[in-house]
Structure formats: structure tokens, C-alpha cells
Amino acid sequence: MGLIATIALITLGISFMILVTFFGRLPALRRTPIAWLHKLIWVYLPNGVYALDERLTGGRATNSCSRFANYMMYDRHPTILIFFILLLTISESLYLPTAWPLLSPTHKFLGTIAIVCPYIFLYLSVTTDPGTITPQNHVSEMARYPYDFSLYHPGSTCRTCNLLKPARSKHCSVCKKCIAKMDHHCIFINSCVGANNQHYFVLLLVTTAILTLYGGILGLDILSTKILRRWPNWALLPWNANDGQGMDVKRWLMIWAWGMQEAVSLGAVTLLALLTSPLVWGLLGYHIWLIYSGTTTNESMKWSDWQAEMDDGYAFKRRIDGGRRKKNLRIEPAWTRWPVEAEQILVRTESGRPPGRELDETGTEGGLVGEGEWEPVWRLRDVENLYDIGFWDNLVDVFWPGYMYRDPVSLEPRGRGRGRKGRRR
């Protein structure tokens, strides 16, 4: 019992800290206990320690710890990548010597695929350029997506790279470069997830999720078989033991402890796989939802900020005639591969009044495109997401980053992506 409890507590603790640390700031978790714990661990407690250290050492200790933490969390280094690789390799080296001789040929074949695939997609995620924007490829990157006049407006320049920012791009402060269709910087691959490697990252999540679940279930089956040879009346669930009559939980756990001690390495890795699998599947589910919504991690945070503006009554929109609007070719591409153009402009005002009224007072247009009256916006569902063209076409955009949705001569949609959905985030 002590062995099981120790392994379970350590595994749960590590998994929970990873969840809170890396996903506590996600908009989907913003109003949950996980977000509160993230603030407690990374904001409130450090502030309290810093205040105490200011009195004791003048802040020298916390400054040193802060520099180390910033390096670990916000600088580019392979520490977490190496940890991830070691976690996979050590777990498999502990698991396979006991499990492999007991596997059927089918499970050996499937197991080999499940083990190898995460390494392949990890390698591809790490080594593939995520979509670095340079002066040499800037023109083609500008033509990747049109500006939606909601999250991305033409004319914005990266102050570090001194280049016009293409739509959906973002400068990564860790990699020190602008990335096309920036999703997020992932410390597990020591690189950004962007337009050119997002598909490899998603496949890494898929294969890792399958590996943890498959390995956990397989290990559970092997351990159950060992236990049943000694205690035929035992069952995987205590209420199914003794031919459905049930078994005392204490005795059931003691039998489990015996099974774990008979194969400590196999049992420990099985428990690790079963406890971490929900975390990996949850992250995979989140990224599938992002693809379904036609957005990225970076954009989901931007939309969350827009929702706050809408709640305060500071957001307004009006119509854009994408077919007749004359583009400013100094700051916009003349053509993009995307099958649709922006049909609205979304802005915020400081006063909470429509932009038109503010402009009348100054006598200027302010450079805002569009036509018609400004309408207040209260919900994200009332705003179009230009980059959401249907789940299957969103998948094409992820797994075929250079797919041409329309011909550059005719400017008419071709093949996939002919329509637009009405669904919003």
C-alpha cells in the first residue's frame, strides 16, 4: 500500500503542477480553480516571498531565483526537451523487460509503432522551422492570410524585426523572431509551434496520448493477469470481485500492492502512464478544439481580451465590402491564398461611444475602413472569425500549410474552402 501511495502521489503531484504551470493562463481555464492556483503559485506566493526577502537580504536571494526561473521558463534551452526524452526512454526501459515477453505478436507490432511514433514526430516538431519570417520570404508570408480587421490590422510593424507583421504572425520573445501563424512557444520541443510545424506538433500529441493510454491499459492487463493467478476471486474493480459479491477495499488494495511489488518497474510506469494520460488527452482535445474553431492559442487569448472589452461596452463593429474595398498595397498584400476576405471591422473606444461620434468631434476619419453604422458588440458569437472556414478546411490548413485555396489569377475560390461557416468560437 505504501509503494502504491508513494508512486501515485508523486505522479499526481508532477502532473498537477505541469497542468497548473503551463495551462493555468489559458482562456478556457481563466475562471477555474486551476487559474486561481496558477496565480497563487506564480504571482501571490512569489510576491510574498519577495517582500520577505526585501526585509532580510535586500532582495538578493529572490533576484537570483528570479533570474534562474526566467531562464528556465522564458529562455530557449533544451532542458525540458531533454527531460521529456528521458521520461520516455527511461519509462520504456523499465516497462519493456517485464512486459515484452508476455505480449502477443499483435501487441508487439502495435506496441513498436506506439513507441516509435512519438520520437519521430518529436524530432520533426523540433527540427522543422515553425515559420520564421525573414526579408527573403516576407512577401509570400504576407500572402498566407488576409487581415481580419479584428485581431490583425494592416500597417503594424515588428519593432524588433523591422518588418510589417503578416496576419496571424507574432514575434516570439524566446526565439527572437517573428513566426507565421504563431500558436505558442512550447518548451517541450524547445521551439515555437507555427504554420510549418503545427501538424507535427498535433501528431506528437496524438501519438503520445495513444502511447500513454495504450501502455497504461496493457500494463494494467498484465498486472491483473498476475494477480488473478494468485487470487482468482479478485477483480479489477472491487465491487466485481468474488463473482460480483464485492471485496473489502482494504483487502483489494493490499492485493494490488502485492501485484505492484511483484513487478515494481512495470507497475510504476503503468501507474505513471494512467495518471498522465488524461493530461495529454486534455491538451490534445484543446488543440483539436482550436482547429475546429479556426484559431490558435495566441488568438484565443486575444479573443478573450476582446470579450472583456465587450463586457465593458467598448467594442463596436461595422460592415466591410471585401469585394469593393480598395487595398492599401503599401501595407497589405494584393492577393492571399485564403478563400475569403474580411467582412467587418472590430474596434474598441475609450469612451464607450461608437467611433463615428468621436470622429465627428475631431473632424477626421481616423483611417477606419468599412461602411454603415457602428454596432455595439456584446458577444464573441456576433463577430466573424475570418480564419474559421469549416473543420475539414481548417484541418487542411494545419496539415497542408501551403495549400492554395484560390487561384492567384482569377482570385476565385477553388477546390476546398468555397464557403464560410456561421459558427463562431
- Over residues 284-341, the pLDDT tens digits come to 999 999 999 999 999 999 998 999 899 999 999 999 987 778 888 899 998 899 999 9
List of residues 6+ apart from 260 with CB closer than 8 A? 3, 4, 7, 223, 267, 268, 271
From residue 233, how far is each of 4, 218, 244 by CA, in Å?
A: 21, 21, 9
- State the chain's mean pLDDT as an integer: 85
Active site residue 186: yes
CA atoms within 13 A on the CB side of 102: 16
On the question of pLDDT at 84 being above 50, the answer is yes
Catalytic residue among 161, 178, 186, 192: 186
pLDDT in the model for residue 252: 82
Average pLDDT of the residues in 275-290 = 92
On the question of pLDDT at 353 being above 80, the answer is yes
**Residue with the larger pLDDT of the pair 355 and 364:** 355
Task: Identify whether the C-beta of residue 385 lies closer than 8 Å to the C-beta of residue 290.
Answer: no
On the question of pLDDT at 70 being above 80, the answer is no
Q: Which residues of 58-97 are buried (b: 16+ CB within 10 A; e: fewer)?
A: eeeebeeeeeeeeeeeeeeeeebbeebbeebeebbebbbe
Q: How confident is the model at residue 361 (pLDDT cuts 50, 70, 90)?
A: very low
Average pLDDT of the residues in 339-366 = 71
Place of cell 503542477: 17
Cell matching residue 220: 494494467
* Cα–Cα distance for residue pair 275/284, rounded to 1 Å: 16
On the question of pLDDT at 403 being above 60, the answer is yes
Write out the H or E segment, with its range, that includes residue 319.
Answer: strand 315-319
- Over residues 385-398, the pLDDT tens digits come to 999 999 999 999 99
DSSP string over 217-253 = HHHHHHHHHHHHHH-TT--SSGGGTTTTT---HHHHH
Average pLDDT of the residues in 10-37 = 70
Q: Which residues of 241-274 are buried (b: 16+ CB within 10 A; e: fewer)?
A: beeeeebeeeebeebbbebbeebeebbbbbbbbb
* Cα–Cα distance for residue pair 193/182, rounded to 1 Å: 6
pLDDT in the model for residue 369: 83
Model confidence, pTM: 0.83
Indicate the pairing of strand 170-172 with strand 344-348.
unpaired
Q: Which residues of 337-374 are buried (b: 16+ CB within 10 A; e: fewer)?
A: bbbbbbbbbbbbbeeeebbeeeeeeeeeeeeebbeeeb
DSSP string over 347-361 = EE-SSSS-HHHHHHH
pLDDT in the model for residue 419: 46
Query: Per mean pLDDT, which range of 126-140, 177-191, 322-336 is the poorest?
Result: 322-336
